[in-house]
Structure 1
Amino acid sequence: MTDTVVDSSLQDAPEERRRAAISPSRAKDFLQCPLLFRFRAIDRLPEPPSQAAVKGSLVHNVLERLFDLPAAGRTEDAAHGLLDPQWETLQEERPDVAEMFTGPEELTAWLAEARGLLTQYFRMENPSRLEPAEREARVETELSSGILLRGFVDRMDVAPNGAVRVVDYKTGKSPHPSYQDDALFQMRFYALMLWRLHGTVPARLQLVYLGNGRTLTHDPVEEELVAFERDLEGLWQRMAGVARAEKFAPRPSRLCAWCSFQRYCPTFGGEPPELPADGVAHLLTVQAV
C-alpha cells in the first residue's frame, strides 16, 4: 500500500508539520507534472476517491490483517472473510467512498474484483510460510545532504541469514519490460532509505502484481543506490528551484485524462488557486539548513 513530499496522511499531526519529506509518490508526481505536484503537495487540494485506488487500499488492508492470523489460519477463505469488515472500516474512515458507485450492482461487481485479486495472491505466495518482519512500516531517514526521505513499506521479510526482502503489492498489471525501470523507482527509494538507516543494502526488491499474477524482482547493489541518491538530490534541487520561483508548469501527457485537477489546470482552460505561501515554506523544510 499503498503509502509524499509532505505526506498528507501525516500532515494533521503538529510534530510532522515541523518538517516536510520527499516520498516516492510525490517525487513521481513532480516528474510527471510539476503542477500536479503543487496541487497535491502544496495546495493539498481534495481529490474524489477512485474505484481503482480504493480497491488497492482495501486489498492492501486485507493482506496486512491476514498476517495477524496464525500461520495455519492464513487461508484464502480467511482473506475473503476479512474483505467485508475491512470495507466497512474503510467506509467509516472515508464516508465519501460510497459515492463511487451508481448502485448496489456496481458495488457488488467491484467487491468481486477485490476478491479476485485476493484469490490471485494465493496463487503467487503461500502466506502460511511467511513471517514478515514488518508490515506497513513507516521508514524515514535524512541523507547526508540534509534531505529528509519518508515512505511506507508494504512488507519486509528477513531471512535467517539477515537478508532483507522488500515487498510491495500492486493491484494493477505488471508493466511492459520497457517500463520496468520506472516501476522500480519506488522500490529503489525504499532500498536507499533502508540502506542509509541500517547500513545494509536489501537483498531483493519485489513487486507483486495481482492484476495479472506476475512478480517483478530486482537485486540492488550499493553503487546503484549511490547513483540513485545523487538523482534524488538533483530532483530535490529542481523541486526547490521551482518552488522558490513559484512556477509550477503543467506538463501535458496522456495521463492528464485521469487527473482530478483539470478544472484548475491552464491546459484545460482552468486557473490554479492562489499559491499558499506557508505551503511553499513548509515544502522547503525537506532539506535541513
Structure 2
Amino acid sequence: MVSHQASGKASVPAVPAASPSAPPPVPPPVRSRTAPPDSLSPSRAADFMQCPLLYRFRVIDKLPEKPTPAATRGTVVHAVLERLFDSPAGERSVRRARSLVVGEWERLLERRPELAELFTGETAGDAADGAELARWLATAEELVERWFSLEDPTRLEPAERELFVEARLESGLRLRGIIDRVDVAPTGEVRVVDYKTGKAPRPQYAADALFQMKFYALVLWRLRGTVPRRLQLVYLGSGDVLSYDPDEGDLRGVERKLLALWDAIRRATETGDWRPRPGPLCGWCAHQALCPEFGGTPPPYPLTVRAEPPENGPPRH
C-alpha cells in the first residue's frame, strides 16, 4: 500500500479569475452632411408638424411636385384679388373682378407654360381641352365673385398687398412669409388678411388654421413692435370668415413653439431621422411612392461618420 504523507500545504497553481467579456466597440456617431435651413415659413412649419418626412422631401430633397388645378386656381384668384385694388374704388365691381381672371391665367401661363398640360388630355381633342379650361376658369370666377359677399373692396384701401416679411429671432432663426393683405385703420390698428380658396375648417381644427396667421403676426410684431389688432382668414370656397384677435402672450407662445419645432428640425437634419406621420392628408401626398407607409423607400440620405477625437487630445487624469 502506498501511502502519501503531506509535508505542509500543497502548492496549487493560481487560476486567473474570469473577467467579463469586453463590450463591443461603440460605433462613432453619425451626422448629416446637410446643414439645416436657417429659415422657416408657415408652409414649411406646417409640413414638419404634419409629417417630418414630407418636410424632408420638400426642403432637403427638393423633390418636384406636379401642379394641380386646385392649387393653380388659388394662384390665379390671389392674383385677381391683388390686382383689383389697382383700380379706383368705384370700379372694383364683381364684373371687373371676373374680367381679370382670364388675364391673370394668361400671365401665369407665360411664366409657367407647363401649366397648360393641366387641361390637355391624352386622347381629348382641342375642343374638349378648351371646354375643360373654360369650366376651370368659371370656377375661379365664382370664387372671386363670392369674395364680394364677404368683403366690400370699394371700402378698403390696403396698406400692403402680397407683402414679403422677414424677421430674425434672437436664437438666429429667420422667419419669413408672404402676407396677402395688410389693412391699417386711421387709428393705426393693423389687420392681417389671408385668402383661402378652400373651405373653412371644422371648429376643432380652427387653431391649426390660425397658426399661419399667428406666425405672420409674430413676424410683424418683431419687425414693427406692434401686435396686429386682428387676424382674418377669408375662405372663398365656403363663404366663411375666421377672425382672431391676438395678444403678446399668444405670440410669445407661437415663438416658443417655433423654436421647439426648429430644434426638432435640426435634430432630424443631423441624424437623418425623418419619420413619416400617417394622417388623413396622406391620400393627397405627391410622394407616396417614396414613403415607407406606402411600401416605398426614400432617397438615400447623406450621413457621414463623425470624426473621433485625436489621440493627442487632453491629458487623462
| Range class of TM-score, shorter chain | 0.7 to 0.9
Please tell me whether the aligned partners of residues 201 and 221 of structure 1 are also in contact (alpha carbons under 8 angstroms).
yes
Query: How far is the alpha carbon of 1:276 from its aligned partner?
Result: 5.6
Asked if 2 retains the 8 angstrom alpha-carbon contact of 1:191 and 1:225, the reply is: yes
TM-score for the superposition, normalised by structure 2:
0.80
The aligned counterpart of 2:257 is 231
Q: Paired residue for 1:3? A: none
Match of 1:63 in 2: 81
Query: 1:156-176 CA deviation, whole Å, 9 max, x = no partner?
Result: 000001000000000011111
Query: Sequence identity of aligned pairs in percent?
Result: 56
CA contact (8 A) 1:43 1:276 kept: no
Q: Per-residue displacement from partner, 1:185-238 (whole Å, max 9, x unpaired)?
A: 000000000001111100000000111111000000111111111111111101
Counterpart of 1:80 in 2: which secondary structure? helix
Distance 2:244 2:198 in 1: 19
Q: Which moved more, 1:179-188 or 1:69-78?
A: 69-78
Question: What letter matches 2:205 in structure 1?
Answer: Y
- 2:258 partner SS: helix
Residue in 1 that maps onto 2:101: 83
Higher helix residue share? 1
SS at match of 2:148: helix
Counting only pairs closer than 5 Å after superposition, residues 1-289 of structure 1 correspond to structure 2 as 20-101=38-119, 102=121, 103-275=129-301
**How far apart are the structure 2 equivalents of 1:63 and 1:194?**
22
The amino acid of 1:82's aligned partner reads L
Q: How far apart are the structure 2 equivalents of 1:96 and 1:266?
A: 30
CA distance in 1, matches of 2:270, 2:99: 50
Query: Which residue does the alignment assign to 2:3?
Result: none
Distance across 1 between alignment mates of 2:254 and 2:72:
30
Find the aligned partners of 1:187 and 1:173 in 2 and give their Cα distance: 17
Q: State how far apart, in whole Å, the 1-side matches of 2:203 and 2:133 are.
A: 33
Partner of 1:67, secondary structure, is helix
For residue 203 of structure 1, what is the amino acid of its counterpart? R
Count of residues in correspondence between the two structures: 261
**Cα RMSD, aligned residues only:** 1.6
Aligned partner of 1:285 in structure 2 is: none
Q: Closer, same or farther in 2 for the Cα pair 1:108/1:276, shift >3 Å?
A: farther
Unaligned residue ranges in structure 1 (runs of 5+): 1-18, 278-289
Residue pair 1:76, 1:122 contacting (<8 A) in 2 also: yes
Structure 2, unpaired ranges of 5+ = 1-36, 122-128, 304-317
The separation in 1 between residues aligned to 2:181 and 2:197, in whole angstroms, is: 15
Structure showing greater radius of gyration is: 2
Structure 1 window deviating more from structure 2 (246-255 vs 168-177): it is 246-255
